[in-house]
Chains A and B, each alone.
Chain A
């Protein structure tokens, strides 16, 4: 039976990979759940919802089947950005590259990993454009 909750170890592994990456000359910070300390930053990455389930697909061992939603956020003034999602795509690409082929999760063996992409969200107002992109990191750990 798996008896160690993998949530914080997964977040730590992803955080260490993607925090403070430099994309298009911008340093992209990563946060757990929300931006800390009311920082007024326009590009960042959030580690949001996590799911996990204990499974036993074989008679050898129990496994954790987990997922972590990684949110990429960019905000730009409408005056400076007419609607380009280029930065969003570049951050997503950088993160996608970093988490491949397998994330190393301390204390666990990453048996199966795959990444799925959720529908992007756009919020366009008179003054700013907000683009959000989502990667769901699915890990099977033992």
Chain B
């Protein structure tokens, strides 16, 4: 019997130099992969468009509630907006890990923290954040930090 995988099992992590920290508190995360298409029309195949696979690119998106993950009183085993902002300001790639909740489907890679947004509304609304990691290089299944 096939068992659907609950979304809550999918956790995105980024490496802090020692450990992988889960991005927190996640409300959703996604991995988007795409292959560019190279089209050509030649006189060898008149009236036809020939397509070839180009290169694979990917990005990871994450959204969550903003929590304190600073080393000053926060939960510094996790990575929320405060921690992600410090990583983004370094302008260097980060190593990420995506545990999809499926054994054998844990992915790793390197990415740039390209977008990071902190939303803070009024009243009882909880602060939220969202981020995009633009992938650099390949997606692998072996931990590059191991």
Contact = CB atoms under 8 A, between A and B. Distances in A.
Contacts of A61: 25
Interface in B22-47: 24-27
A63 B27 CA distance: 14
Candidate in A57, A61, A113 with the most chain B CB atoms within 10 angstroms: A57
Contacts of B10: 59
Nearest to A112: B124
Contact of A59 (B8, B123, B124, B126): B8
A68 B24 CA distance: 30
A58 B124 contact: no
Interface size class of A (residues with CB under 8 A): under 10
A114 B26 CA distance: 24
Interface in A51-90: 56-61
A57 B7 CA distance: 12
Interface string A28-39: 000000000000
Interface of A: 56-61, 112-114
The 8 closest A-B pairs by CB, nearest first: A60-B25, A58-B25, A59-B26, A114-B124, A59-B8, A58-B27, A58-B65, A112-B124
19 contacts: A56-B8, A57-B65, A58-B24, A58-B25, A58-B26, A58-B64, A58-B65, A59-B10, A59-B11, A59-B25, A59-B26, A59-B64, A60-B24, A60-B25, A60-B26, A60-B78, A112-B126, A113-B124, A114-B123
